[in-house]
Chains A and B, each alone.
Chain A
Amino acid sequence: MRSKPSSKSALVEALNLRKYYPVYGGLFKRIKGFVRAVDGVNLAIREGESLVLVGESGSGKTTLGMLLAKLIQPTSGRIIFKGVDVTEKIPRSLRRKIRVVFQDPYASLNPRIKILDQVIEPLLSEGVDRGEAEERGYKVLESVRLDSDLASKYPHELSGGQRQRAVIARALITEPDFLVLDEPTSMLDVSIQAQILNLLKKLKTEYSLTYLFITHNLAVARYIGDRIAVMYLGRIVEMAPKRVLFSNPLHPYTKALLSAYPPPDPEKGWEPEVPEDMATNPANPPKGCRFHPRCPLAFEDCRVRAPETLEVEREHYVECLLYR
């Protein structure tokens, strides 16, 4: 997706970012091919915004999140964070400004270490003395609304929602600018999900954060997002401000995705118009437009020409030949 080059307000930028994973096979486990998890993504995340990345499994949304969080190295392309090219190496002072929250709060916490100790661990490893670290730890626990008497508990003594609060607290302890949130509420029950979503909204203002929020749930995207990017087989196929995307979706895949979600209201219709369930393989994406084999509107050109990104209205980008 094209973005305004190095616009002042961009906190994080991806320039033609790719991540290929080798696929091994055969007798000598030679490289047979590559899974193109992320295949040419351009993206600028603005300071203070909440950009939601939606897509189904295998779309590459998690890989893109890990790239931007600097957890894995890209195959090619560049990543700019706060104006600094951090593709190859990220200085320590910037490293601590990017933090990640994963889906499973239990897997994210060490079962043998007390909550407060896990939360302040990043500070201790930076050489902050224990007294000060604990003081800041309690403060951040208060921000995520975790009772201070839970500080000395172990993860298994906490509920799922409390654990996710602890994980968020640990992310906040280094005073980051950028949080990558990968399905942070999808393992939680709905009553708890609402608590965490509201907490994340509040923290974003309190801590002046910028979010990359990854989810498969479009209803969650509509609640938490300012802008929404839709991923399909390693590419961002549509991106727009939330209101625009929900009122005027353009890409046939986005339309299909939106129609698949039932509204929580039996008096509203639910007529999903979704393409054939096909095994889509990122190791061998279709030629031309990647969506063409499943697209109800595909025409001859779609089979051979890869669509480029078009800005069809202000800030509304779509990768589809229909809008040439």
Chain B
Amino acid sequence: MAVVEVKNLSVVYYTPKGLARALDNVSLKIERRGEILGLVGESGSGKSTLGYAIAGLLPENAEIVSGEILVNGVNVIDAGVDSRPRISVIFQDALTALNPVLTVGEQIAEIFMYVHGMERREAYEETRRVLREVGLPEGFTNRYPHELSGGQRQRAVIAMSLALRPALIIADEPTTALDVTVQAVILKLLHRVVKDNDLTMLYITHDLSLVAHMCDKVAVMYAGEIVEYSDVRSLFRDPKHPYTIALLKAIPRIDADVEELEPIEGSPPSLINPPKGCRFHPRCPYAMEKCRVAKPGAIQVGHGRWARCFLYEE
């Protein structure tokens, strides 16, 4: 059984300007435990909406209009609190995730006591253990969130995720607010913690460079759809969807002198009134007549890979 299976999920937002189709018929799987799936896209691509839909955290003006979300086989859309598999979310801003009036130790121990039903003493022992695992030694148990640096707060949040023993971790741009040197340390830690504990993670980011080193699999999103799904190595070696190809040519590189970037002309479409046919066709250098009228399905483009693009139609 797949850890996560999203089937034909469509989500809309009710906005003052009209109905925004944030997710359109999205299907996605995380096959096995221990896997890290990267969800990459620009703003408005629907990557956070997909994460929040899985976590059950969609805002009030959003509605799931169709589809299923199975986590460990349980449909989380209508499952009650008791039968829902545990899902932990790591947000960009660690401070909002931490209770300012409880010490780091208290809020982690709560998880061991109330979720796992441990005695107080055992809970604090476990708390110290998970804090050590994320590189926060003894002294941090009694500190308040405001006494920590940004990186230390994100460590505390990762410790909370560990304490929960979740079926799935959803990390939404967890290091975007941090300086690059701190980001490097936190991401290495997150990667190690997930792999060591055989956890499963959906890693949401706009940064392809981070996907390259954090993830096993990757789903590229554009305008509310997953346009390409692949293992990470194949995606970077041989991207298939014209959007992925273009994106890789548009990013400045730390590892090479690039004479001229090739930007993607135009802007991402409005989700209220998205283009007919393939949503990328107005910006696509390979667009054909067909792309303007018909929506491409998921076409297999390699072992365990697919792309939504008519170029690969037999």
List the interface of chain A (C-beta within 8 A of B): 56-57, 159, 161-162, 189-195, 197-198, 216-220, 222-224, 242-243, 246, 256-268, 270, 272, 274-275, 277-279
Known: A263-B209, A264-B208, A265-B212. A194 touches B263 (CB 8 A): yes
Instruction: Let me know if A257 and B247 touch, CB within 8 A.
Output: no
Instruction: Let me know if B252 and A197 touch, CB within 8 A.
Output: yes
Given A216-B179, A222-B257, A222-B258, 17 more A-B residue pairs with CB atoms under 8 Å apart are: A56-B179, A189-B42, A189-B268, A190-B42, A191-B263, A191-B268, A192-B267, A194-B261, A195-B264, A223-B258, A242-B257, A262-B213, A266-B236, A270-B212, A274-B182, A274-B185, A278-B149
- B265 interface residue per 8 A CB criterion: yes
Instruction: Let me know if B265 and A222 touch, CB within 8 A.
Output: no
* Among candidates A222, A259, A260, A266, residue contacting B253 with C-beta atoms closer than 8 Å: A222
* Among candidates B152, B206, B252, B255, residue contacting A277 with C-beta atoms closer than 8 Å: B152
B86 to chain A: closest CB distance in Å?
A: 29
Interface membership of chain B positions 113-157, coded 1 if the CB is closer than 8 angstroms to chain A and 0 otherwise: 000000000000000000000000000000000000111100000
* Among candidates B183, B185, B188, B209, residue contacting A264 with C-beta atoms closer than 8 Å: B209
A161 to B250, CA, bound (A): 15
Known: A191-B247, A195-B263, A264-B208. A219 touches B180 (CB 8 A): no
* Among candidates B183, B208, B254, residue contacting A258 with C-beta atoms closer than 8 Å: B254
Instruction: Let me know if A194 and B181 touch, CB within 8 A.
Output: no
A175 to B42, CA, bound (A): 34
Give the residue name and chain of the B residue nearest to A197 (CB): B261
Instruction: Let me know if B151 and A277 touch, CB within 8 A.
Output: yes
- B251 interface residue per 8 A CB criterion: yes
Count chain B residues whose beta carbon lies closer than 8 angstroms to a beta carbon of A. Answer: 43
- B232 interface residue per 8 A CB criterion: yes
Instruction: Let me know if A267 and B233 touch, CB within 8 A.
Output: yes
Supply 23 A–B pairs (Cβ within 8 Å), ascending by A.
A161-B267, A189-B268, A191-B42, A191-B250, A194-B252, A195-B263, A217-B252, A219-B253, A222-B254, A246-B257, A261-B184, A262-B209, A262-B212, A263-B209, A264-B212, A264-B254, A264-B255, A267-B233, A272-B181, A274-B184, A277-B149, A277-B151, A277-B185
- B43 interface residue per 8 A CB criterion: yes
Within 8 A of A (CB), among B178-201: 179-185, 188
- B248 interface residue per 8 A CB criterion: yes
